Structure 1
Amino acid sequence: MLAINMEDVLKVVKTCIPYLIGFGIVLVLALIVIIVCRKVAVVKRKAIRSSAGIAILLAFVTTVNLICFGPMSSLISLSTGNGTITQEASDEATALGEEIGNEGIVLLKNENKNLPLADSAALNVFGWASTNPCYGGTGSGSLSDAYETTSLLDGLKEAGIETNQELSDFYVDYRADRPEVGMWAQDWTLPEPPQDQYSDELIENAKGFSEDAMVVITRVGGEGADLPTDLSQVTFESNSSDYEDFPEGSHFLELTQSEKDMIELVCANFDNVTLVYNGANAMELGFVDEYEQIKSAIWCPGAGQSGFRALGNILSGEVNPSGKTSDIFVKDLFNTPTSNNFGHFAYDNMEEFKVTNKDFVTQEEYDVYPNFINYVEGIYVGYRFYETASDEGFINYDDHVQYPFGYGLSYTTFEQEMSEITVSGDELSFDVTVKNTGDVSGKDVVEVYSNPPYTNGGIEKSTANLVAFEKTNELEPGDSETISITINKEDLASYDSEDAKAYVLEEGDYKISVRGDSHRILDEKTVSEKETIVYDEDNKRSTDEVVATNAFDHVAGDVTYLSRADKFANYEEATAAPESFSITEEAKATFINNANYNPEDYNNEEDAMPTTGAGNDITLAELRGADYEDERWETLLDNLTIKEMDTMIAIAGYQTSAADSVGKVGTIDCDGPASINNNFTGTGSIGFPSAVMIASTWNKEIAERFGESIGTMADDMGVSGWYAPAMNTHRSAFAGRNFEYYSEDGVLAGEIAAKAVQGAKSKGVYAYLKHYALNDQETDRNNMLVTWANEQSIREIYLKPFEEAVKKGEAQAIMSAFNYIGTEWAGGSDALLNQTLRNEWGFKGFVLTDYFGVYGYMNADQGIRNGNDAMLVAYDTETNHVKDTKSATSVNAMRQSCKNIMYTVVNSRAYEDGNLSTGLMSWQIAAIVIDVILGALMILLAVLTVKKYKGRANNEAKRDNQ
């Protein structure tokens, strides 16, 4: 989502122009009258001029009122609500942020028990990033600056680790601030002092200070731009004139030359080195094995405002690390199935769909043609490809993978043992006994994977698929814990888009394993399915409202998808970069943007016009807790006027609009996902660690407490909706918003998000799952990005986290995405929003667009007719208002959208006792009071003017009579 910017301000000003023109006309006329009356008698001239002045004042007050209660009403309301977060809630959030770090920081390497450090340790901390680390990311996911942030070095010091101040001062003196990787512009410079700036004295002093050294490497991403895959094409500065930090063709997730030189220097002078990678995007870390001096390595994603305390806890040994990677770490990011099909690809035959946008920084206009992206890897995303390709003998696993998905070390050791699997109806059940076999207490994660039977050339299947996970309690040395696992058979099914057009559980042997990570099997059992089960209309999955069947045939496009057949025989062909940049004529004929969308083309003559403005004696509050199908909804909806429905749909940026006819109050929604921030009042909450670190805890209970904490602080602020959690898939390590999204795996992401949603909901706050769906890169995200993907991957990979969070978390709100699904905007995709989300999954709630910047393709008419209920903008734009308010098809769609919005709102904190306020807002009351005072003043001035005129006229008459 986009934050407020100068473009917004200019658009708001534009909506006020008609009112200002009206005032200008009155002002000009009044001035003309004042000038013309110069030749009138003095008494009349003074009266006329006084009256003209009063007219100008009246026109000014009227104009201000029309603007404030008209186009500016929404923005003023948003800017005047300013609840205060209690100290207790902030303190609890701060403590929870540290706890998330304790369980989400991942120990990647620890040779010779290099960690934890000795008691009262002294530590040399190298790397410029140690003084300016990554706390989160930029854009709508950034942290509030209203709260104290524990820095990386402070986190170590609080844990009793003394750091080399001389080194830290050296880095601060080199550069104090981090180059901005912002939403509107990016400077990808990575400050790091060249090796020749380290004096001999500095190094000798460091060696005298401690035998231990730590190197910090940081990477920061954010909304609006993906991480560069070729630094020669973006803005950055090398740290030395003697060399290029990033030679041509270098990417952002490898070491710079300055970083390499610094590591060489450290390893030449210290034998016990710890490498800390601080960033959410999976970096190339193969270099940690190239230096025997690097004994230990840690992954610490964005730590939020208190998470670096956890880094100190882990280094000191106060906390035993238990985090597991939420993504796979590969050795060569340019040699992945996605690498050739991520980034910018513009169609060369879509001239008729060109739109003109503005650059957010320069305000210069530029032409945009539809772009595209091919999800050629199919279901083989992340670890699924590497595990399957290894099992097929297509790759040597160790040559490609640095750290598997679900990988993480501990200061102790564990063993896990499965019981026999019990099959009862459609469920598989077994126990996993986890025993701490080491000499330090700690936690472990039970990761359960399935390896389904595969027929060469048949339904695509990975040999490793996460199906369940649980985290143990703290186990003392020698202690055990037994965790019960239950899996529905249907969760082992694969989607067959070719033949059955449904989920299919094929006959054969299913290997169910517990693993230390996606690659290391700890124990395994086999369950045999004697007959193929098709989950069709006669046998839908238990969690589906209606049967899941093909809805995205039109999204596959003219793309060759990666197949496991014959040991990935089509790998080179499928994963190659696009050769053609022309859309097919067949697909082109279905492409929609605002240039060719006409709502009347989609009207149904059989639709009946619903009742509006009925005046029934029923209010929204009476339907709190009522079933979505309760017949009283229809009576309530009859009360809505066309104008009220249009406003509720059109003006839904950071709010839902009020509707007097049904007693619907306005509500406030705020940004996330690592905190709850009001962009209008400046009030924000404590910032939590990034979603990646939360996912890396593999701890559902912590995720739920995170949601509860957000909900508590939102309630303090008077906020009912939270623009989070962000659910998109880590398709590429270079995706700019990976810090906001949980994982490459839908089960891990979905389970963690479901708990966060439940936590917020327990406090009456509705969470918006975003960005639905396939919004997995920032490049061209709002430049008509046509996304091509096959049905199986859409369902099994990209919709999976949303599905889990809707079904298990009972999410009440969704934010749709900027990109296209095939040739339709995601916010106008019936297949995505109605067929799948509502019909199949049973979602009850409303769908909001991502930031409604129009961009040549977003419009309310298309949205409401296809399941997108509201537009995320707080002022009028070209297309956020419904254009067709006459047809029964459109008015019925408006009515349905308003029902969805109100169903969510009435069941939120906004309608809890003590929160419900149906009266005027404070600013409106103040404005009315001021209007009354000014009105009285103008009446008084008018009376005085008349009296003075009469007095002067009488005096003049007397003089004439004398």
Structure 2
Amino acid sequence: MIGINIADVINVLASLRTQLIVIGVALGVALVVTAAVNRRTVADKAVRKLVHAEVWIAAAVAAIVAVSMMLFGPLSTTLSLLSGGGQLSQQTMDRANELAGDIQREGIVMLENDGGMLPLTGTDAINVFGWASTNPIYGGVGSGSLNDQYPMTSILEGLNDAGFETNDELADFYAGYAAERPTVSIFSQDWTLPEPPAATYPDDLIADAKDFSDTAMIVISRSGGEGADLPERMGDIPQAGPDAEATEIGDTSNAEAGQMQNDVIYRNNSNDYDDFEDDQGYLTLSKSERDMVDLVASNFDDVVLVYNGANTFDLSFVDEYPQIRSVLWCPPAGQVGFEALGEVVSGAVNPSGRTTDTFVRDFSLAPWYRNIGDFTYDNMDEFGASSFTGTSLPTFVNYVEGIYVGYRYYETAADEGAIDYEATVQYPFGYGLSYTTFDQEMGDVTYADGTVSFDVTVTNTGDVAGKDVVEVYYNPPYVNGGIEKASANLVAFDKTDLLEPGESQTVTIEFEDDDMASYDYEDAKAWVLEAGDYQVSINSDSHNEIASATVTVPETVTYDSEDNTHDGDVVPATNVFDDAEGDVTYLSRADGFANYDEATAAPASMSMGDEYKATFVNTSNYENENDDSDEMPTTGADNGVDLYQLYGRDYDDPLWDDLLDELTVNDMDNLIATAGYNNAAVASIGKPQQSDVDGPAALNNNFTGVGSIGLPSSVSVANTFHAGLATEYGEMIGDMAHEMNVTGWYAPAMNLHRSAYAGRCFEYFSEDPLLSGVMAGNEAAGSMSKGVYAYIKHFALNDQETNRNSMICTWSNEQAIREIYLRPFEIAIKTSGSTAVMSSYNYIGTRYAGAHPGLLNTVLRDEWGFRGSVLTDYFGGLGYQVADQIIRNGGDSMLATTDTTNHVTDRSATSVIAMRNASHNILYMAVNSWIYEDGQPEIATPTWQYVYYVAVGVLAVLLVVAEVVAIRRFLRRRAAR
């Protein structure tokens, strides 16, 4: 989602066109009449003056009427949003900060600890190197931004609060080099990494540092956010000297489909060298950073490296420096989470986080590497800028790796002998070290009535208290050339309590056998659990097994009937996304990934095949298709039903029909068209306007500026492997929402970390669908328990930001779509009870995801049983967002605050039926929020309306006075003749 920008201003002006014309005409007529009625044309001064007065009074009246129409028409929603608000109590802020600390304490991952360097117990002084130590990453960009009304705890403050003294001379040196981090925003990206060149460090600074302490910490950080992916080739970014201005060499390409201009730059830290080689990515050390690491390593033997970022980083350089004895991954920590870093370093907290992504040594060797970024079709001109002003040409991305995303590829490729695992992977998925040691003992595995269960006894065998994670994987039977299957698949996980030395805890693991099923999109066109031996193991991470057992499935089960569905589906799943496969070669395990080079190569063609092009739909060729047999629903009835009476009732309760009959077509259109950051008021059913807000780590009201405490990033949450903390996260969001008068939360987001360079990795949880789904589902369930509906997003396959709303056609096969990309949403929908979903900007194949009937109706509602509302991502028109199309294909409302193509234009019976269904979904979601718990909610008049009534009253009095004065003067002049 994006907030207000220049496109919004343009859209507002467009929506006010009629009223502005009226005002212009009124003023123009007044000027013309004033000029025309002069001494030459009207000799009678009294008449002349009266005409002048009357025409300007009439113009004023016309202007007031036009402005009133603006305020109560196109501007009404926005003005009402500006009237909202609410503040957090101190008690709630304290609780939120405490939870934030708990999450980050368990979300920090210790990747290295050579010789037990950490915790630091022999010194209370640390030299902290790296410019990022004074400007760390707290959150993300765009909807993930944190509110600056609350204080932030920095890395240095976190260390100080843990009892360490840090080198102020170093901190001052970095602060003097650059006081603020360059801006990486939705609208422009300055990817500059301020890092003083090694040659600029004064000799006495290093000498003083060595006198200060023999322990050093290096901080490296990387930012990311909404609107742009991190650059995988820095040579594609305009680079200049340290004093260059972004506007001088900015790339003004149309990166947001006509919504914004994107300025992109990197400023080198020296005029003597470039920080990056052309083929280097942003997630590797720059030369200035490398030189700094060299400087520190040459002067200190005990070095801690802290990586502060949500995207996995190329940490392969660590192996080159024996002085770097400990490595900590500390993702964006929110407002106070860096307190936890100091506690981990001191030993007050024993790290228990696990990696939610695989850290590899060379991103260019990843299967996705050549299929991320900017690919624009060369044969789609009729659908692009030539058809709509300011709209870019359609683009595409190929998900060539199929199901082999993240560790699923690396573990399977290693088993097939296709890669040297140790040379490829530095830190596996699910990996993390502790200050203590644990023993995990796997109990007897039972398989009965479709359920696999066993106990795992975890014992702390070390010297300090700590928490451990139980990770359960399965390795299914695979037939060469058969259904694609990864050899490692996370199927369950749990986290222990804090265990004292010698203490044990037994964790019970239980999962259904259909959790090990595969989707066969070629033959059965259904979920299939093939007969054979399934190895079920407990692992310390995705690569290292602790113990295992064999579960034998005696015969193949195909989930293709109403009484035999997969994972509790309401109806059996079958192929829905055949047309999204495209002309793409997908990576296959067959013959040891024999097709790897072919499948993972960059796209050979930039043309969409004619077969697919014939089905491509956007604003240029969309037409409503109506069914003449449809009967017009009842509208505007007087049935005496108010919305609050539906609180807690079933979606299919007969009372809904009585309520829906009361809605007028305009009522329904208002609910559907102006749902941006709010859920519209409907006076006829006693429904007040409700507030929906961003974002994934905090509640941010983009209109009032009111925000909540910023919690740690979704990556931090996932790193905890602690589902209970995710639930507490959602509950805290719910509590803060109550105090901010908010009923809807635009989160959690659960797209995948398909690529390390994805801009929204901070907002998404993991490369693994199970971990993502469980964490997101628990967050949503937590907020729902407080009566705050969580918009599970971005549905679906919205895994890169580049070209995100440039009609990007995402190509993938049905197996990967269902097993990998839809799986987090499926888990979250089925476990949370959420009544809200936000669709995504991208296309799936040639169909916009926000108007994809297979995705939104067949899968979401029919298969998974979802009941509630589907909202678009931010609605700017964009050349393909059309309200009529959306409501006829499973979408319900538009995240719009200005008029573009967000209003329903058709008033046929077919269209009104669709509007009624969408309104039902919206109202079902709305009425089950907390404001209806005690009956009819108060319908407050927005503050701006009070101001309006006072202003109009004053203006009316002034106009009456003006009219009286004009008439009196006229009569006085006449009498004087």
Local SS of the residue matching 2:837: strand
- Partner-residue secondary structure (3-state), 2:566: coil
Deviates more, 1:420-429 or 1:438-447: 420-429
2:271 aligned to 237, 241, 244, which one? Answer: 241
CA contact (8 A) 1:656 1:667 kept: yes
1:125 aligns with 2:128: yes
Paired residues of 2:647 and 2:933 also in contact (CA < 8 A): no
Matched, 1:782 2:785: no
Scaled by the length of structure 2, the TM-score of the pair is 0.95
Q: Greater shift after overlay, 484-493 or 56-65?
A: 56-65
Q: Secondary structure at the match of 1:334?
A: helix
Partner residue, 2:533: 509
C-alpha separation between the residues in 2 aligned to 1:297 and 1:25?
69
SS in 2 for 1:355: coil
Aligned residue in 1 for 2:912 = 891
Q: How does 1:182-581 map to 2 (within 5 A)?
A: 182-234=185-237, 235-355=265-385, 368-537=392-561, 538-581=563-606
Partners of 2:289 and 2:267 in 1: CA distance: 14
Query: What is the one-letter code of the residue matched to 1:29?
Result: V
- Equivalent residue number for residue 640 of structure 1: 663
- Report the CA distance between 1:57 and its aligned residue: 2.8
Paired amino acid for 1:100: I
Distance 1:29 1:464 in 2: 77
Partner of 1:362: none
Q: Which stretches of structure 1, 4 residues or longer, exceed 6 Å deviation after superposition?
A: none
Contact 2:114 2:325 in 1 (8 A): yes
Q: Select the residue among 136, 146, 152 that pairs with 1:143.
A: 146
Retained in 2: the 8 A contact 1:650–1:871?
yes
Rounded to whole Å, the distance in 1 between the matches of 2:775 and 2:628 is: 45
**Matched residues in 2 for 1:261 and 1:584: separation?**
49
Q: Which residues in structure 2 correspond to 1:23-34 (within 5 Å)?
A: 23-34=23-34
Deviations 1:928-956 (A, max 9, x none): 34333433443344345445544554x44
* C-alpha contact 2:686 2:936 (8 A) present in aligned 1: no
The amino acid that maps onto 1:395 is I
Q: Which residue of 2 aligns with 1:866?
A: 889
Between 366-375 and 213-222, the greater mean CA deviation after superposition? 366-375
**Offset from partner CA, 1:492-513 (integer Å, 9 cap, x none):** 1111111111111111111111
Q: How does 1:560-959 map to 2 (within 5 A)?
A: 560-600=585-625, 603-877=626-900, 879-886=901-908, 888-913=909-934, 916-950=937-971, 953=974, 955-956=975-976
Write out aligned runs for 1:88-103 (5 A). 88-103=91-106
Stretches of structure 1 that go unaligned for 5 or more consecutive residues are 359-364
Q: Secondary structure at the match of 2:298?
A: helix
Asked if structure 1 preserves the Cα contact closer than 8 Å seen for 2:26 and 2:63, the reply is no
C-alpha displacement at 1:349, in angstroms? 1.4
Q: Distance in 1 between matches of 2:696 and 2:610?
A: 40
- Post-superposition Cα deviations, 1:451-491, rounded to whole Å, max 9, x if no partner, equal 11111111111111111111111000000011111101111
Larger deviation, residues 346-355 vs 263-272? 346-355
**Is 1:909–1:915's contact at 8 Å kept on the other side of the alignment?**
no
Q: 2-side partners of 1:276 and 1:438: how far apart?
A: 25
Three-state SS of the structure 2 residue aligned to 1:108 is strand
The residue matched to 1:808 in structure 2 has which SS? helix
Alpha-carbon distance in structure 2 between the residues aligned to 1:628 and 1:613: 21
Give SS of 2:474's match.
strand
Q: Which amino acid aligns with 1:701?
A: G
Distance 1:219 1:917, change over 3 A: same
What's the C-alpha RMSD, in Å, of the aligned pairs? 1.6
Residue identity (%): 55
Secondary structure at 1:599's aligned position in 2? coil
CA deviation after TM superposition for structure 1 residue 336, in Å: 0.7
1:434 CA displacement: 0.7
In structure 2, what is the Cα distance between the partners aligned to 1:936 and 1:247? 71
C-alpha distance in structure 1 between counterparts of 2:880 and 2:964, whole Å: 56
Distance in 1 (CA, whole Å) between partners of 2:295 and 2:390 is 47
- Segments of 5+ residues of structure 2 without an aligned counterpart are 238-264
Amino acid in structure 2 at the alignment position of 1:899? H
Identify if the C-alpha distance between structure 1 residues 240 and 34 changes in structure 2 by more than 3 Å, giving closer, same or farther.
Answer: closer
User: How far off its partner does 1:201 sit?
Assistant: 1.4
Aligned AA for 2:587?
A: L
Q: Which amino acid aligns with 2:852?
A: S
Alpha-carbon distance, 1:47 to partner: 3.3
Using the TM superposition, give the Cα deviation of residue 44 of structure 1 relative to its aligned residue in structure 2, in angstroms.
Answer: 3.2
> Which has the higher mean CA deviation after the structures are superposed, 53-62 or 443-452?
53-62
Match of 1:57 in 2: 60
Return the alpha-carbon distance in structure 2 between the equivalents of residues 133 and 370 of structure 1: 37
Structure 1 residue 107: deviation in Å?
0.3
Q: Distance in 1 between matches of 2:492 and 2:751?
A: 19
Which secondary structure state, in structure 2, belongs to the residue aligned with residue 711 of structure 1? helix
Question: Distance in 2 between the 1:629 and 1:63 partners?
Answer: 43
One-letter amino acid of the counterpart of residue 171, structure 1: Y
Q: Distance in 2 between matches of 1:190 and 1:121?
A: 29
Partner of 1:361: none
**Counterpart-to-counterpart distance in 1, 2:435 and 2:387:** 54
Superposition TM-score, scaled by structure 1 size:
0.96
Aligned equivalents of 1:850, 1:542: Cα separation in 2:
28
Q: How far apart, in 1, do the equivalents of 2:940 and 2:378 lie?
A: 55
Q: What SS is found at the alignment partner of 2:365?
A: coil
Please give the alpha-carbon distance, in whole angstroms, between the structure 2 residues aligned to 1:181 and 1:950. Answer: 68
In the alignment, which residue of structure 2 is the partner of 1:43? 46
Aligned equivalents of 1:632, 1:677: Cα separation in 2: 35
Q: Which residue of 2 aligns with 1:111?
A: 114
Deviation at 1:432, TM superposition (A): 0.9
Equivalent-residue separation in structure 1 for 2:43 and 2:564 (angstroms): 92
Structure 1 distance, partners of 2:867, 2:381, is: 40
| Contact kept in structure 2, 1:283 and 1:329, CA below 8 Å | yes
Distance 1:479 1:687 in 2: 35
Aligned residue type for 1:928: Y
Q: Deviations over 1:788-836 (max 9, x none)?
A: 0000100110011111110001111111111100000111101111111
Q: Structure 1's 278 and 357: CA in aligned 2 closer, same or farther, altered over 3 A?
A: farther
Contact 2:22–2:63 (CA<8 Å) still a contact in 1?
A: no
Instruction: Determine the C-alpha separation between the residues in 2 that align with 1:523 and 1:405.
Output: 18
How far residue 37 of structure 1 moved from its aligned partner, in angstroms, is 5.3
User: Cα offset for 1:53?
Assistant: 3.5
Counterpart selection for 1:156 from 136, 159, 162: 159
The separation in 2 between residues aligned to 1:310 and 1:511, in whole angstroms, is 38
Amino acid aligned to 1:880:
N
Distance 1:414 1:403 in 2: 19
Check conservation: 2:101, 2:339, Cα contact below 8 A. yes
Shift of 1:290: 1.4
Any idea what SS the aligned residue of 1:124 has? strand
